[in-house]
Copies of this chain bind each other. A is one copy, B any other.
Amino acid sequence: AVAAPAVQTGLPEIKWRMTSSFPKSIDTLYGSAELLANRLREITGGKFDIRIFPAGEIVPGLQALDAVQQGTVEMCHSCSYYYVGKDKTFAFGTAVPFGMNARQMDAWIIGGGGQELLDEFYGNYNVYSFLGGNTGVQMGGWYRKQINTLEDIKGLKIRIAGIAGEIMSRMGAIPQQIAGSDIYPSLEKGTIDAAEWVAPYDDEKLGFYKVAPHYYSPGWWEPGPVVHFYVNKAEWDKLPKEYQAAFRAASREAHIQMTAMYDHKNPQALARLLAQGVKLQNFSNEIMKKAFDISRELYAEEAAKNPAWAKIYAEFEKYRKSQNAWFSVAEAGFDRFMQSVR
């Protein structure tokens, strides 16, 4: 008798769908999802195959999480703060106004217990989260007129969403919800006075500088916005351990890639914008301080009525203070000098 040789079937073929909250035109953001999918195909010889769909093809961009929660798709690429309408606590995963910068968010999520705190919360929505990019500190947006004092904010019609919109509202502004494609004509006609988007590389493409030349810094509401890959819990648990490990590694590669590419592209775009006559402005300390104080009032109010927020906020704030005490030493000391001699 001839013993049949053991047939090693190897790892399974798995096909997933990822719905993105972004259009392909925001290529740096969208590209980090493509990097994840490509790398996983390479690692597994094509067996773990994730197909990406731009916002709107399967579900609208702001419903990506819901699609993962319900199992319509296995995963998405999205920002947690798109879902603050469900629970404000969602903001912490991506960005809260006057929160932490990109490196500090990494330290908190990777080293400081942030991942565990966030996953406990996301667990209510049937998903696991993985770091999937960071844009760095965003800009404060485009303004038709200069904003010098708190008085100038009163009545300002500004396209801004979420918690930042609530802060602006308490400062007397009138926040507007407008889709990306409608911002330019609204600024041009004067239907709105100002609009925030991302940072030089993405902003330049939409041409806001032609109709609202005052470009304010910094975007205090998005200091280090984290983009996430959310994966349906049951689908994740079904993956072979090898694919889970590959996903962990490749998602971190995608995470760092996004920041590096934004940091690569933004300086060049800023130089081009300045050459077009864009007027770079800083929010005054008076405006920043008022917005900061309002943010803390708002966070305390939320903590009083929302235990999920209260739990994460307490840890987040303690961590932020400790981070700033250290970053004010070597990092700030070096950067400040180098910016003075450039």
Contact = CB atoms under 8 A, between A and B. Distances in A.
A127 interface: no
Interface residues of A, number: 88
Contacts of A256: 106, 110, 252, 255-256
A98 interface: yes
A256 B254 CA distance: 11
Contact of A249 (B6, B252, B327): B252
A107 B249 contact: no
B326 A241 contact: no
B5 A8 contact: no
Contact of A259 (B106, B257, B260): B106
A323 B338 CA distance: 10
Contacts of A324: 335, 338-339, 342
Contact of A325 (B98, B102, B246, B342): B342
Contacts of A289: 341
A300 interface: no
Contacts of A303: none
Copies of the polypeptide in the assembly: 2
Interface residues of A: mostly helix, strand, loop or mixed? helix
A260 B332 contact: no
Interface in A258-284: 259-261, 263-268, 270-271, 280, 282-283
A101 B322 contact: no
A218 B332 CA distance: 8
Contact of A333 (B102, B250, B282): B282
A339 B223 CA distance: 13
Nearest to A98: B338
Contacts of A288: 337
Given A248-B39, A330-B217, A263 B104 contact: yes
Contact of A250 (B110, B249, B266, B337): B249
A199 B264 contact: no
Contact of A246 (B199, B249, B271): B249
Given A8-B9, A264-B107, A333 B217 contact: yes
Given A101-B338, A220-B334, 11 more contacts: A43-B242, A106-B256, A106-B260, A106-B263, A107-B264, A200-B326, A252-B253, A266-B326, A324-B338, A325-B342, A335-B335
8 contacts: A101-B335, A107-B263, A110-B261, A111-B261, A217-B330, A218-B331, A249-B249, A335-B335
